[in-house]
Amino acid sequence: MTESPTTALREDAVRDALRDVIDPELGYNIVDLGLVYGIEIEGGVIDVTMTMTTPGCPAQDYIVRGVEQRLAEEPGVTAAFVSVVWEPSWSPRCMSAAAKAHFRIREDGE
């Protein structure tokens, strides 16, 4: 059975949902912080590849649970999995223009 375009999960909708997940240390969403590296969708299963701002981040478990819980609220999602990776390493250059402006970081990431 093929999903129709109106019911199929879309990466942009998943990314928008993940904007509800806030890094508790920075008080800003994980998408615009540049922590989400990839989203794979197969049927109702979503695999998110992401990183943290630093290895050993004390908020890692909190953020991963937040991703899983937020995606579980989306219609059509049957499972959500998160893989935390360290390569490439995160830097302020990964942030969206809006996040850089919020944190008063120049566009070149400095």
CATH number at residue 66: 3.30.300.130
User: Any bridge partners for residue 110, and if so which?
Assistant: none
Q: How far is CA 95 from the centre of its chain?
A: 12
pLDDT given at position 3: 43
pLDDT given at position 8: 63
Local confidence band at 1 (pLDDT 50, 70, 90 cut-offs):
very low
pLDDT given at position 73: 96
CA-to-CA dists, residue 73 to 4, 66, 68, 94, angstroms: 20, 11, 9, 27
**What is the number of structural domains in the chain?**
1
Q: Is pLDDT at 58 greater than 70 in this prediction?
A: yes
**Residue 94 carries which DSSP code?**
G
Q: Is residue 98 part of a domain?
A: no
Q: Is residue 4 part of a domain?
A: no
Q: Is pLDDT at 47 greater than 70 in this prediction?
A: yes
What range does the domain containing 62 cover? 11-91
Residue-wise pLDDT for 25-43, tens only, equals 999 999 999 999 999 999 9
- Which amino acid, residue 9? L
